[in-house]
Amino acid sequence: MITMKADPAVQRTLLTLAAVDKELTQLAHRRRTLPEIAQLVEAEVAVRTAKDKLVEVETSAGDLDRDIRRIERDVEGVRARTERDRTLLAGSGVGAKQATDLQHELETLQRRQSVLEDEQLEIMEQREAVGADVEHSQAALAAAEQAVTDLTQRRDTAFADIDAAEAGRVRDRAATVAGIPAEVVAVYEKRRAKGGAGAALLLARRCQACRLELDRSALGELRAAPADEIVHCTECGVILVRSTESGL
Ligand SMILES: [Zn+2]
């Protein structure tokens, strides 16, 4: 590995850069894993389910309304026919044979009306129950849609918070990078591209990136390295920044 020199103060700035990058990583993670994202998917499924249910009960209500109108027409027809027969029967010039036929038909019409009225009552009851279902389904759909609205608002508020925090960290990062020589930043970025931190403090003989305690020979090399030399963790490769608390 080529030896890279950097003033100890510049090396410490790498820790600031690493802290900013850690925050940026956390913000990106927070954006991806916002609970509202998964909750919204569920809430949208609930809206679709509620819509389907509403269509179903509204269709039932429509079918029953059609049945009700049909029975009303039938009842009306039976009433008109009954009225006509009674008028004929009450009138003069009705022969005995015709009178018997009319009486017979009036009895049939009476039974027919009775059947129709029973049917009408039953369908009215069904329609009432379905009407209540329609109201429940409308309320359920409204609640589901409200949940989507609320969650969308909460998600967007969270996104806006993350955007603002990110913009702040991006500015901090630019300001920090401006104070570090480009070739040192390049070493830092190269390490970071492999995943994890680019730089970490050596604290009490432990690399603060991989949390491992360095062995005696590694510590000996670090102790021997000049303060302005950039050194790396023998365990994880991160740029190790030494301080008075490094335990060297
Ligand atoms: Zn390490």
Neighbours of ion ligand 1 (CB under 5 A): 207, 209-210, 233, 235-236, 238
**pLDDT (tens digit per residue) in 50-106:** 999 999 999 999 999 999 999 999 999 999 999 999 999 998 888 899 999 999 999
| pTM (predicted TM-score) | 0.77
Q: What mean pLDDT do residues 213-236 have? A: 95
Extract long-range pairs of 220-226: CB within 8 Å, 24+ residues apart. Answer: 222/246, 222/248, 223/248
d(CA 177, CA 227): 21
| Gap from CA of 9 to ligand 1 centroid (Å) | 20
d(CA 124, CA 117): 10
| Gap from CA of 234 to ligand 1 centroid (Å) | 7
Q: Is the pLDDT of residue 115 over 70?
A: yes
pLDDT band at 2; cut points 50, 70, 90: low
Q: Which helix (H) or strand (E) holds 163?
A: helix 96-178
| Gap from CA of 31 to ligand 1 centroid (Å) | 28
| Gap from CA of 33 to ligand 1 centroid (Å) | 27
Q: What's the whole-number average pLDDT of the chain?
A: 96
* pLDDT for the residue numbered 42: 98
CA atoms within 13 A on the CB side of 74: 18
* pLDDT for the residue numbered 1: 54
Site of tokens 């802290």? 19
For 67-82, the DSSP string reads: HHHHHHHHHHHHHHHH
* pLDDT for the residue numbered 3: 81
**pLDDT (tens digit per residue) in 142-187:** 999 999 999 999 999 999 999 999 999 999 999 999 999 999 999 9
d(CA 186, CA 188): 5
Q: Is the pLDDT of residue 208 over 60?
A: yes
* pLDDT for the residue numbered 6: 94
